[in-house]
Amino acid sequence: MVSTSTELIIHLMNRAGFGITPDELDACSLMTYEDLVENLLNPSESSHISDDILFRDHVDLHASRSGVPAYWAYRMISTQSPLEEKMSLFWHGIFATGNSKLNNLRTLLNQIEMFRRSGTGKFDDLLIKLSQDPAMLIWLDNQDNLNESINENYGREILELFSMGVGNYTEDDIKECARAFTGWSVANSEYMSLMAQKDSIWPYGRIVWHYDFKPGIHDVDNKEFLGEAGPFNGDDVIRIICNQEATARFIARHMYNFFVADEVPVPQWKDTPPKDPAAIDTLVEAYFKYEHDIKSVLRVLLTSDFFKESRYQKIKSPVELVIGTLRLSGEYNDDSKVDSSIFGVIAESDYMGQALCNPPSVEGWHTGEEWISSGALVDRVNFASQHIGNPDNDGVKHILNRIHADLKNDTHTIGELIESCGNSVGITRVSGDTADGVLDLFTQEEVQTNGQDTDIAIEDDTILRVLEFMVSSREYQLC
């Protein structure tokens, strides 16, 4: 039986990262839980696969014409700072921006890089950067938001989906908010939005966008917003938004949903109380105590009892499942493993319901049980068993060697093999159903079994079959 601290480490790395390999677990086991959390929050260096190698081998990634999900996947698989990527994924799901409308993946990648830089800073600063992010501005039509003729799209969504949630503001607040963001636009907005609409690459490829404030179309008049009055601009509006308790609750619930336990989809939050109101209160308190600093709220969350006790209460998102599996299998994780097959591999996440850079709407993805349909489940199981069942993958070879080393004798019980294989793929509590399934596997192959105490020869093929079964199990779908 593994120790509690090992279980906690695996739990932490599942949620704040993309799982953990056996070697990483060994290294983490030498640290206290608190130090581990600090290392995640304050990584010493963002080490990952090299851009120059990627761009030399996949030259089309240089301009990010296509393949940004693959580029991001390389980063998520190879990073030594997994929380940085996890937070980028977190904000990508909330501030959901899709290339289906932008037709400018490099600009969208700049947004993701902004999440990487600013995703754990002060929420006010993040919202300002988001409101000046050219991908977001075009996504929600703010280039058409003029003092003479406002476009409410961004003003509405920043309140409804990005900060406060439905029911905490009025329709008038939306209009006043939109007025404050008039003139927040992109350079050459007419030409850039036309190229986006027409999906034009002519004459010389896509031109990436940058923020441009246009004072001539900004509404400088007085505004009344959430009970305050003044000649507000976007910065003022964001300051007011970030001081609202509704904002703290909304962000706290998102963080709970992403890191702790699956909640109902966002549209139901207005009518459905949080799963753990006390946990939300704790996070709200931290939000104000630490002056809206997301990293501080994360620290409170990751060291809380409600987090530590939430094991197996989340269904892995497709990206978490795909990236976690590839980190385990040891594919695409260093400069020598750059390979064009990654484009097809990351597309598997699309088939499971999560296409990076193309969320289904501005509302982002619905999470939890909504990840699981019969088709998606088959894809998830096939994907994991295919990659973990391939002994040519370096990570799998390493797992095989470790299991052989752990189980020093040639013969062990099926129960010992199940436990060792489970631990190797991050499953610390193998269910009775899964264990019975392994026994059935052996029975089908005409091995005489008498329960988990039956002795069995420890050979590569045997280990691989059990590993494949483990990553096909219900436990592996959860984290």
Q: Do residues 240 and 246 touch, judged by C-beta distance below 8 A?
A: no
Q: Do residues 361 and 96 touch, judged by C-beta distance below 8 A?
A: yes
Determine, following the binding rule CB under 8 A, whether residue 204 of this chain makes contact with another protein: yes
Number of other residues whose CB lies within 10 A of the CB of residue 164: 23
Minimum CB distance to another protein, residue 173 (Å): 28
Residue pointed to by tokens 């992109």: 186
Euclidean distance between CA atoms 342 and 57, whole angstroms: 12
Between 31 and 207, name the residue whose CB sits nearer to another protein.
207
Minimum CB distance to another protein, residue 463 (Å): 28
Of the candidate spans 150-158, 183-191, 234-242, 367-375, the one that interacts with another protein by CB under 8 A turns out to be 183-191
Determine, following the binding rule CB under 8 A, whether residue 74 of this chain makes contact with another protein: no
Minimum CB distance to another protein, residue 200 (Å): 6
Determine, following the binding rule CB under 8 A, whether residue 392 of this chain makes contact with another protein: no
Among 3, 26, 167, 201, the residue binding another protein under the rule CB under 8 A is 201
Between 114 and 403, name the residue whose CB sits nearer to another protein.
114
Determine, following the binding rule CB under 8 A, whether residue 202 of this chain makes contact with another protein: yes
Residue pointed to by tokens 């990073």: 79
- Identify residue 287 by its one-letter amino acid code: Y
Of the candidate spans 197-205, 292-300, 302-310, 373-381, the one that interacts with another protein by CB under 8 A turns out to be 197-205
Of the candidate spans 77-85, 188-196, 290-298, 352-360, the one that interacts with another protein by CB under 8 A turns out to be 188-196
Minimum CB distance to another protein, residue 50 (Å): 9
Euclidean distance between CA atoms 242 and 293, whole angstroms: 11
Minimum CB distance to another protein, residue 219 (Å): 23
Residue list 336-355, contact with another protein (CB under 8 A): 340, 343-344
Minimum CB distance to another protein, residue 73 (Å): 13
Between 210 and 402, name the residue whose CB sits nearer to another protein.
210
Give a three-class secondary structure readout of 445-464.
Answer: CCCCCECECCEEECCHHHHH
Burial of 271 (0-12, 13-18, 19+ CB in 10 A): exposed
Residue list 101-130, contact with another protein (CB under 8 A): 106, 110, 114, 117
Residue list 440-479, contact with another protein (CB under 8 A): none
Among 52, 148, 392, 461, the residue binding another protein under the rule CB under 8 A is 52
Among 34, 35, 60, 410, the residue binding another protein under the rule CB under 8 A is 60
Euclidean distance between CA atoms 341 and 333, whole angstroms: 13
Q: Do residues 266 and 363 touch, judged by C-beta distance below 8 A?
A: yes
Between 58 and 253, name the residue whose CB sits nearer to another protein.
58
Among 139, 209, 383, 476, the residue binding another protein under the rule CB under 8 A is 209
Determine, following the binding rule CB under 8 A, whether residue 75 of this chain makes contact with another protein: no
138: nearest Cα among 359, 354, 362, 360: 362
Residues that bind another protein (CB under 8 A): 52, 56-63, 65-67, 70, 106, 110, 114, 117, 132, 187-188, 190-192, 194-195, 198, 200-205, 207-212, 340, 343-344
